[in-house]
Amino acid sequence: LILIPFAKPQGGLKTGFYSSTCPKAEATVRSTVEAHFKNDPTSDGPNWPVPTGRRDGRVSLASKASSLPSPLDSVDTQRSKFAAKGLDDKDLVTLAGAHTLGQTDCRFFRYRLYNFTTTGNSDPSLSQSALAQFQTMCPKNTDGTERVPLDDSPMKFDVDYFKNVRDGNGVLESDQRLWGDPKTHDIVKNYAGTFRGLLGLRFDFEFKQSMIQMSSIEVKTGTQGEIRKVCSKIN
């Protein structure tokens, strides 16, 4: 048995933050989340302890959304955005692995199929089989709202996303570019691997680590911000 510690949360957060002031709070939340997972086992995804003690902000700016990754971003741009928040290449690739679940609209990647460099060509990093499949799912002259799974098993948390990127079947350009960058290539390769069970467990663990890191970015603690009475609006 190998025991590996979870990433240390930042900003004054910790598991058990409310143990003295509200001892039942975290246990109540934990039992609710665990019950949800038991009632909806379809994704088979991991769960992890969420460090508590964070407070709510009073300001929300749409301009801040520009720092979020875009499906059009190069790896260097993604890397810069992640580094600005204290995250490294491993976090970048690991968190991109969240695309093992869900779907996207054709409008976010259809240019890769029909007009990649505005000359009517397709993205050469796409495999021919993926190109044919996506063109069937995303016809050229529609509004682009058709939905496409982000990997071959969009309801299951697994490493199929990384296998798709490895094989030239990544849906979003930002995902497929991870295979072409020398620093992110090996991380994708290791997750995709050939021994699905072992590497799947490794991805599960490292995804938890990166999620804890990301959830601790620029948190408000102590007297910063507020504790909202209604979650959707400031007090």
In angstroms, the Cα distances linking 148 to 74, 95, 212 are: 22, 20, 29
DSSP labels, 85-102:
TT--HHHHHHHHGGGGS-
Is 41 annotated to bind ligand? no
DSSP E strands in the chain: the ranges are 103-105, 147-149
Structure tokens at 230: 């209604």
Is 69 annotated to bind ligand? yes
- What type of residue sits at position 16? G
DSSP E strands in 156-215: the ranges are none
Is 151 annotated to bind ligand? yes
Give the integer Cα–Cα distance in Å for 162 and 200: 10
Structure tokens at 218: 């620029």
Is 158 annotated to bind ligand? yes
Is 99 annotated to bind ligand? yes
Residues in the chain: 235
Give the integer Cα–Cα distance in Å for 18 and 45: 27
Q: Which residues are annotated as a binding site for substrate?
A: 69
Q: Which residues are annotated as a binding site?
A: 69, 99-100, 151, 158
Q: Which residues are annotated as a binding site for Ca(2+)?
A: 100, 151, 158
Q: Which residues are annotated as a binding site for heme b?
A: 99
